Amino acid sequence: MAAGTLYTYPENWRAFKAQIAAQYSGARLKVASNSPAFTFGQTNRTPAFLNNFPLGKVPAYQGDDGFCLFESNAIAHYLSNDALRGATPQVAAQVLQWVSFADSEIIPPASAWVFPTLGIMQFNKQATEQAKEDMKRALAVLNQHLNSRTFLVGERVSLADITVACSMLWVYKQVLEPSFRQPYPNVTRWFVTCVNQPQFKTVLGEVKLCEKMAQFDAKKFAEMQTKKETPPKKEKGGKDAAKSQEKKEKKKEEKKPAPAEEIDDCDAVLAAEPKTKDPYAHLPKSAFVMDEFKRKSQIPPMFTGMFQRLDKLRKTAFASVLLFGTNNDSSISGLWVFRGQDLAFPLSPDWQIDYESYDWRKLDSKSEECKTLVKEYLSWEGDFKHVGKAFNQGKIFK
């Protein structure tokens, strides 16, 4: 029988999967989720932790025998018994099917929909609407499957139910209001059955279903942004880890935090991130205020994916990037202006997004070629000779 410690932050739904599995199997599991035993954002960055769990992510499991595992599904699998995992190859494969379904069909829309309501992600209407549609699709599949079944696989709770129910915890608590869940009664019946099993209840406590769909919490979001700027507090605590840990866990049980606080701990990863060094700190102040130039020249919005993620370059770079060619036969080419003399992307880990997908060439600012290209790219007109005939004959997508 497995025995060991699960490192996590409090109220982590990924850790719940392992904790519930252990409740069923009888695996002896200690949970280290508070200082001094474990402080998320600190302990998981120590060399000792990284030596066992190279990603530095939680949940992470270490057996009393030294056996280490990361990835919540693997940990929950390890802490299960055969009844939970599926006793035959077919049943075990069906369990795995639902575990994967949770990861790929539920978690992405659940996160996109719920995170803004908790203030840990900016609201994007289109993304939220898409998430609702994706969630409806997953719910419809589940509802159909559960039409004639009590549990997802077989006649008893399996790891499939544990995993899928835990992945839906936040949607059921936060956004699946009665009218939204009304078309999927089998799913709600199954979810309520699961979370009311004693083994679930011991871990989750009382699960209250959402009454009114939570909306984007702009105030909380602003607070979180400020928090991210603030360096984390130093970890306190003596050596008597186990005892003090137990006391804290008990206190926590008595006083469950509000939902937004619960998930703060995950976001604390970002909050605890050391502030990245300014790659331009060594350069003298420049008279060329790029941000202002861009606003005044009204350079249009550009290729969204890469550019959205390069927001931090806003004040030190600008570009005009165009898509040449026709559908399924196109090429992207652009002109960039950076502060300093070097290509900006390699200067900071925050900027190294997609830049390797392109070839980069420094232009001689005094050359005729440079003057032509500046004119062409900023006006979106011209021969664009360097792009190549094939693409250049097509349309320029602006």
Ligand X SMILES: N[C@@H](CCC(=O)N[C@@H](CS)C(=O)NCC(=O)O)C(=O)O
Binding site for ligand X (CB under 6 A): 14, 56-59, 71-72, 266, 269
Identify the CA nearest to 86 among candidates 69, 75, 103, 98: 98
Q: Of the two residues 72 and 158, which places its CB atom closer to ligand X in the complex?
A: 72
Q: Of the two residues 213 and 353, which places its CB atom closer to ligand X in the complex?
A: 353
- The minimum distance between CB 50 and ligand X, in angstroms, equals 10
Q: Which residues contact 314 (CB under 8 A, 6 or more apart)?
A: 291
Helices (H), 102-197: 107-117, 125-145, 159-167, 169-174, 178-181, 185-195
- The minimum distance between CB 14 and ligand X, in angstroms, equals 5
Q: Of the two residues 267 and 376, which places its CB atom closer to ligand X in the complex?
A: 267
φ/ψ of 329, rounded to 5, equals -150, 70
Q: Of the two residues 142 and 266, which places its CB atom closer to ligand X in the complex?
A: 266
- The minimum distance between CB 127 and ligand X, in angstroms, equals 19
Residue 38 CB coordination number (10 Å):
23
- The minimum distance between CB 78 and ligand X, in angstroms, equals 13
Q: Of the two residues 213 and 269, which places its CB atom closer to ligand X in the complex?
A: 269
Residue 85 CB coordination number (10 Å):
19
Q: Which residue has the tokens 């607070």?
A: 223
198 burial (CB, 10 Å; 0-12 / 13-18 / 19+) is exposed
Report how far residue 327's alpha carbon sits from residue 60's, in angstroms, rounded to the nearest whole number.
46
Q: Of the two residues 58 and 157, which places its CB atom closer to ligand X in the complex?
A: 58
Copy the structure tokens of residue 393: 């004959």
- The minimum distance between CB 102 and ligand X, in angstroms, equals 10
Q: Which residues contact 198 (CB under 8 A, 6 or more apart)?
A: 23
Q: How far is CA 35 from the centre of its chain?
A: 24
- The minimum distance between CB 72 and ligand X, in angstroms, equals 4
Q: Of the two residues 59 and 116, which places its CB atom closer to ligand X in the complex?
A: 59
- The minimum distance between CB 113 and ligand X, in angstroms, equals 17
Q: Is 283:339 a contact under the CB 8 Å cutoff?
A: yes
